């Protein structure tokens, strides 16, 4: 047992303490053998003596506790003194956090993130490779700035990841609902304009540009490289295919699917989405055909 504990102590750098505890009567009376095992196995993993490098290359010794809320921040991060970082939140190196920002517990603010003043970040939010404007509300579980879903097929039929190297830019006075996801760009930044409102469970893919004062209801899915104008409203579960443009002041009925460009303002619906009056005529004609077939 003594030899085993000595090897354990040597592995963690305790060369002088373990022999004194093991080979003196006082030490053996104070700590039984099992207590010594517990002490020397678990002590090195405490916060005060963590490994100097983690998987992301961050140095643990450079993280400190924020005075307002008890969260953790890297000493190279720029955080306004009025900001609140709740316990369990982490602000990584070179992140910028503006005045009166509130960051909830479990939130992760990555190294390439800038947050404007008076923005509220909910619990378990993950921000990376993005900027967030002033007076925004980011609800619980939102992810912004992760890689988009882009892959290439090589000559051997293998799937290769397409580089996702750009950012996501969120304007001011934007609200993003719980568990929504906004990917970073690959050939242009992903953008959400000022005063736009996004409901829960919305997916915005890479390279999407959304104008100002848009409203996206629950479970909307926008594929890559879509361009959306200003004052656009999408009902629940609207789908937009990739590389489609939607003009300003368009309203899309719930569960519609946009498969081609919409160039004129107005109301649209259906699959594929057409002007709302045409869609209504299609629905009526279908019902009449069904009744005629099954009287």
pLDDT digits (tens), the chain, 295 positions: 444 444 444 444 444 444 444 444 444 444 444 343 333 333 333 333 333 333 355 667 899 999 999 999 999 999 999 999 999 999 999 999 999 999 999 999 999 899 999 999 999 999 999 999 999 999 999 999 999 999 999 999 999 999 999 999 999 999 999 999 999 999 999 999 999 999 999 999 999 999 999 999 999 999 999 999 999 999 999 999 999 999 999 999 999 999 999 999 999 999 999 999 999 999 999 888 888 888 7
| Residues acting as catalytic residues | 206
Helices and strands: H and E segment counts in the chain: 5, 33
| pLDDT score for 56 | 53
| Type and span of the H or E element at 293 | helix 276-293
Within 10 angstroms of residue 294's Cβ, the number of other Cβ atoms is 6
Please state, in angstroms and rounded to a whole number, the distance separating the CA atoms of residues 182 and 19: 56
- The Cα 100–Cα 86 span in angstroms is 13
Alpha-carbon span 123 to 143, nearest angstrom: 11
Would you call 285 helix, strand, or coil by DSSP? helix
Q: Which residues pair with 274 in a beta bridge?
A: 269
pTM: 0.79
- DSSP annotation of 278 reads H
């Amino acid at each position: 047992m003594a030899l085993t504990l000595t090897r354990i102590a040597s592995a963690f750098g305790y060369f002088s303490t373990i022999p004194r505890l093991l080979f003196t009567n006082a030490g053996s009376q104070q700590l039984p053998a099992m207590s010594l095992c517990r002490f020397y196995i678990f002590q090195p993993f405490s916060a005060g003596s963590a490994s100097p490098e983690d998987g992301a290359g961050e140095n643990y010794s450079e993280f400190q506790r924020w005075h307002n809320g008890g969260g953790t921040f890297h000493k190279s991060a720029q955080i306004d003194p009025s900001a609140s970082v709740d316990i369990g939140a982490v602000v990584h190196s070179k992140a910028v956090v503006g005045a009166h920002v509130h960051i909830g517990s479990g939130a992760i603010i990555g190294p390439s993130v800038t947050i404007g003043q008076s923005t509220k970040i909910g619990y378990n939010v993950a921000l990376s490779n993005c900027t967030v404007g002033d007076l925004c509300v980011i609800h619980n579980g939102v992810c912004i700035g992760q890689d988009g879903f882009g892959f290439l097929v090589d000559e051997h039929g293998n799937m290769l990841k397409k580089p996702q190297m750009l950012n996501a830019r969120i304007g001011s006075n934007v609200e993003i609902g719980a568990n929504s996801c906004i990917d970073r760009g690959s050939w242009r930044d992903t953008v959400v304009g000022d005063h736009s409102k996004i409901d829960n469970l919305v997916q915005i893919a890479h390279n999407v540009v959304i104008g100002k004062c848009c409203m996206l209801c629950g479970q909307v899915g926008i594929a890559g490289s879509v361009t959306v104008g200003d004052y656009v409203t999408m009902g629940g579960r609207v789908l937009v295919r990739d590389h489609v443009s939607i003009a300003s002041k368009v309203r899309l009925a719930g569960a519609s699917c946009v498969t081609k460009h919409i160039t004129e303002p107005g109301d649209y619906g259906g699959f594929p989405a057409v002007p709302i009056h045409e869609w209504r005529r299609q629905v009526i004609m279908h019902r009449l055909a069904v009744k005629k077939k099954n009287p």
